[in-house]
Structures are given as structure tokens and as C-alpha cells.
């Protein structure tokens, strides 16, 4: 039997391959063989770690979310200023690079598949709820520091997430009216609209530095 560390690495390898397969083929079209080929393992190896295809795909959705947060952990740890953190979160979620585009495609497949699947609806509530909590915590910190003028942090959070999600889908579908650059500008404008005037100079400098 593989050592625990080897098992963890192999499981992550399989889940990463599953995310790539979901992003390329779509949730319903993915086969165990597709994942095995991308991971460079046998079908039997996949079944050793996951009891069924559904278990594998659900685990991949969870992995996609956790991996996305892990890649942005530095933003939460090193960005003490809420405005800086918000702009950096927007920047990091632009579907402009291969890794982020894959992650977004997996998110979109989760949403589409959850329409008729209660288990996926519950999974979406859990993982998206955690992501909403990350953004809301940042918005609330901005309000406490006097940098953001927001009556309802929850509503402001949902508006920003709505912008990110909706505009990202337009980018992913190849809309000529929405590019990553345009998406970033719209989201940054929203943050500026809820920023207290005295903090806007610093906010503008932050955006220029991040480009």
C-alpha cells in the first residue's frame, strides 16, 4: 500500500486531472478513462481512491475551490489594507491565465450541473458560502477602518461577487464586449464607488501597481 504522503500526492494528481477534464469536456461527458489518461494512471487506480465517478467529480469540485483559495492565501495574509485586498482579489480572479480559466470553467460546470442535482446544490452552497465569507470579511474590515461607505456589507459583497461571476462568464464565452481588462475595470469601478473619498488616491495607486 502506498505511503500516506504518496497517497495524498496521487489523490491530488487525480483531482487536478479531473478538474482539467471537466473544464475541457464538461461535467456530464467526463469518463474515468479521461481522468486516468490525464493523470497517467490506470482506471483501477482511480477506483482505489474514489468509489464512483460521482464521488470523484464531487471531490474535484471541492478540490477546485480549496485550490483556488490556497493560491490566493497570500492576498489574505499579506494585504492588511482592505482596499488593497479587494483589488488584488479581483485581479487574481480575472479569467486571463490557463490555471484561472480552468478553475472558472469548473465553477461554471458545477453551477450548470447543480440545477438538477441536490447534492451539487448543497456542495455549491458550502463552497460558495465560504468564498462569500472571505469577501464579506474584507468588506467588513474596510467599513470598520472607514475606507468603505457601505450600509450592508452582505449586499455589497453579493454585488461584487455578482459582477465577478457574471462578467467572468461573458469572458469565458468569448464575448467581444467583455475582456479581462474590461472586467477588471468594471469591478474596480464598483469598489471605487463604495470607497470613502479620502482613500481613493491610495486605491488608485494600488490598481496601477497591480497591473
Q: How many CB atoms lie within 10 A of CB 28?
A: 10
pLDDT tens string 43-86: 999 999 999 999 999 999 999 999 998 988 899 888 789 999 99
Give residue 205's pLDDT.
47
Domains and CATH numbers, the chain: 6-196 (1.10.357.10)
Residues ≥6 apart with Cβ < 8 Å to 178: 167, 170, 171
Residue range 85-89: mean pLDDT, rounded: 94
- pTM score, whole prediction: 0.85
Residue range 88-99: mean pLDDT, rounded: 94
Write down the mean pLDDT value for the chain: 90
Q: Which three cell numbers stand for residue 48?
A: 482505489
pLDDT tens string 152-191: 999 999 999 999 999 999 999 999 999 999 999 999 999 9
Cα-Cα end-to-end distance for the chain: 48
Amino acid at each position: 500500500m502506498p505511503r500516506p504522503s504518496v497517497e495524498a500526492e496521487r489523490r491530488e494528481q487525480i483531482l487536478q486531472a479531473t478538474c482539467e477534464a471537466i473544464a475541457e469536456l464538461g461535467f456530464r461527458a467526463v469518463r474515468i478513462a479521461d481522468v486516468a489518461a490525464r493523470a497517467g494512471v490506470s482506471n483501477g487506480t482511480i477506483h482505489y481512491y474514489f468509489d464512483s465517478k460521482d464521488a470523484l467529480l464531487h471531490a474535484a469540485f471541492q478540490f477546485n475551490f480549496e485550490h483556488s483559495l490556497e493560491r490566493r492565501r497570500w492576498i489574505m495574509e499579506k494585504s492588511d489594507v482592505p482596499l488593497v485586498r479587494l483589488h488584488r482579489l479581483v485581479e487574481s480572479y480575472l479569467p486571463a491565465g490557463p490555471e484561472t480559466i480552468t478553475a472558472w470553467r469548473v465553477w461554471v460546470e458545477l453551477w450548470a450541473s447543480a440545477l438538477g442535482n441536490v447534492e451539487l446544490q448543497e456542495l455549491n452552497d458550502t463552497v460558495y458560502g465560504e468564498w462569500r465569507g472571505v469577501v464579506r470579511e474584507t468588506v467588513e474590515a474596510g467599513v470598520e477602518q472607514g475606507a468603505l461607505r457601505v450600509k450592508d456589507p452582505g449586499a455589497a459583497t453579493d454585488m461584487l461577487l455578482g459582477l465577478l461571476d457574471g462578467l467572468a462568464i461573458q469572458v469565458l464565452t468569448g464575448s467581444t464586449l467583455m475582456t479581462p481588462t474590461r472586467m477588471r475595470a468594471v469591478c474596480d469601478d464598483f469598489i471605487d464607488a463604495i470607497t470613502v473619498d479620502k482613500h481613493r488616491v491610495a486605491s488608485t495607486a494600488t490598481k496601477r501597481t497591480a497591473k
